[in-house]
Structure 1
Amino acid sequence: MTGQEADVSRALRGLEDGRSSVRLRAALEVGSAPDPRFVGALVDRCAVEPEFFVRDMLTWALTRHPVSVTLPVLLGEVRSERAQARSQALHTLSKIGDRRAWPVITPDLLADADDEVARSAWRAAVVLVPEGEEGGLAEALATLLGRGARETQLSLSRALVALGEAAVPVLRTATAVRDAGVRTHAIATERLLRDPDAGFESAVEEAKRVVALGGSGPDGQR
């Protein structure tokens, strides 16, 4: 075994070590000396790694490798049955930012039953959406307004706000629907779009007051 092969073998063992500090160091080493032989192991580890800071380093290590090597593996991982595998693959794709990954962002993926996967899909979608298709993405995201707990709703609002003017028509439509939860979320998101510095909590509280009074947003408030 050559010295290089020994280094690769040691790094691969480190990624599987029971100590998070060792896994973190191994991911740092792999990212500092990219080698296509590491890509499969990095992606596999992302699917099961329990520590956030290690997962973040694994993602960084993957971004250090050639897109021609990482992209096909990550696209396959998005179709995994394991939720964390899907979520981390989407997160990494958003960091790489190569729009050739856009076709993997399907309506089913945006509406994934797992909140972490869905949130990762929303973040990836606004990065990967091709120019001119922002309106269609905004429409798809708007169908999910009112979904989940506050953190999930914040993620969706941020994604819609990131789409800018493309989100305005769909949010305006959503502020007039019958479902109070959807209206509240849409009004709060509209406020964030108008004032990005507004806090989400205060935007939601304001939206609740508007809905309680029978209003429907900036032009329909009472």
Structure 2
Amino acid sequence: MDSTHRNTQERRLLDALAAANPSTRLQAALTAGTHPAPALVDALIARCAVEPDFFVRDMLTWALTRLPPDITVPKLCAEFGSDRAQARSQALHTLSKIGDGSVWPAITRSLLHDADDEVARSAWRAAVVLVPAGHRAGLAAELAAQLGRGDREMRLSLSRALVALGDVIEPALRSGLSSDDPAVRAHALATERLLSDPDAGFDPAVEQAKRLVALGPDRAEEVEKAAC
């Protein structure tokens, strides 16, 4: 294929990525992933930052994973400095799918504690995938410091991230279990239960944790022993 024809095709694809119809954008992202072209990487990343449709965003991520990591990874990491929350969130999500461990130093504390819930959730998921073994305990402490944050979905995401780290989270959970905030204690206890029994389900674990927290530490210990 000559360069003129290739440039024309790429121009049409870029136009389709910005089309009003989400089906057209979805097809364009699919085409970009089916026939990966490094020349499109900037446009794909830029589209991730503004794309309103979940399915199109997911296809954009897939298209980016089809390109060489040495091209995509630095550009995605550069999105961490964006003022647009979706740009940060989608870059983190895409990097978690690429799975390049060299990204770990760029997953900063500020991203893990980002004020935007979706960015923070994306950072937690990416961090769990990318963290080196020697940093797992430190990551567990950063995540456990946010126990009690947000709504049900936010807390579920945090519990899943913590449980994915395994037994290394147990010391980090202890501070949450002794917190003065009942919401933090309940979240820590529910996470502890999920760690020991992943099939228990988050909502039952939370409800049981709330009951135990309401009883107080002494009465809760009696109930726990009776249940064993």
TM-score of Structure 1 vs Structure 2, range by shorter chain? over 0.9
Other-structure match for 1:9: 11
When normalised by structure 2's length, the TM-score is 0.94
Please identify runs of 4+ aligned residues in structure 1 that moved more than 4 A: 218-222
Other-structure match for 1:39: 41
Greater displacement, 174-183 / 47-56: 174-183
Give the distance between the partners of 1:221 and 1:163, measured in 2 at CA. 28
Does residue 90 (structure 1) correspond to residue 92 (structure 2)? The answer is yes
Out of 192, 203, 206, the residue aligned to residue 194 of structure 2 is: 192
Give the distance between the partners of 2:21 and 2:147, measured in 1 at CA. 40
Other-structure match for 2:53: 51
Amino acid at match of 1:136: G
Other-structure match for 2:121: 119
Give the distance between the partners of 2:7 and 2:58, measured in 1 at CA. 26
Give the distance between the partners of 1:151 and 1:127, measured in 2 at CA. 20
Q: How far off its partner does 1:215 sit?
A: 2.8
Amino acid at match of 1:193: L
Out of 143, 149, 152, the residue aligned to residue 150 of structure 1 is: 152
Q: 1:80 to 1:220 in 2, by over 3 A?
A: farther
Structure 1 unmatched runs, 5+: none
Q: 1:113 to 1:220 in 2, by over 3 A?
A: farther
Amino acid at match of 2:169: A
Give the distance between the partners of 1:47 and 1:219, measured in 2 at CA. 49
Amino acid at match of 2:9: D
Give the distance between the partners of 1:174 and 1:121, measured in 2 at CA. 21
Out of 63, 66, 87, the residue aligned to residue 65 of structure 2 is: 63
When normalised by structure 1's length, the TM-score is 0.96
Deviations 1:59-102 (A, max 9, x none): 00000000000011100001100000000000001101101111
Out of 107, 110, 117, the residue aligned to residue 109 of structure 2 is: 107
Q: Number of paired residues?
A: 222
Does the residue aligned with 1:71 lie in a helix, a strand or coil?
A: helix
Amino acid at match of 2:193: R
Does the residue aligned with 2:134 lie in a helix, a strand or coil?
A: coil
Out of 161, 164, 169, the residue aligned to residue 167 of structure 1 is: 169
Q: How far off its partner does 1:146 sit?
A: 0.4
Amino acid at match of 2:208: E
Does the residue aligned with 2:161 lie in a helix, a strand or coil?
A: helix
Q: How far off its partner does 1:220 sit?
A: 7.6
Does the residue aligned with 1:132 lie in a helix, a strand or coil?
A: helix
Structure with the bigger percentage of helix: 2
Q: How far off its partner does 1:175 sit?
A: 0.8
Give the distance between the partners of 1:198 and 1:38, measured in 2 at CA. 45
Q: 1:220 to 1:61 in 2, by over 3 A?
A: farther
Does the residue aligned with 1:163 lie in a helix, a strand or coil?
A: helix
Structure 2 unmatched runs, 5+: none
Give the distance between the partners of 1:116 and 1:174, measured in 2 at CA. 22
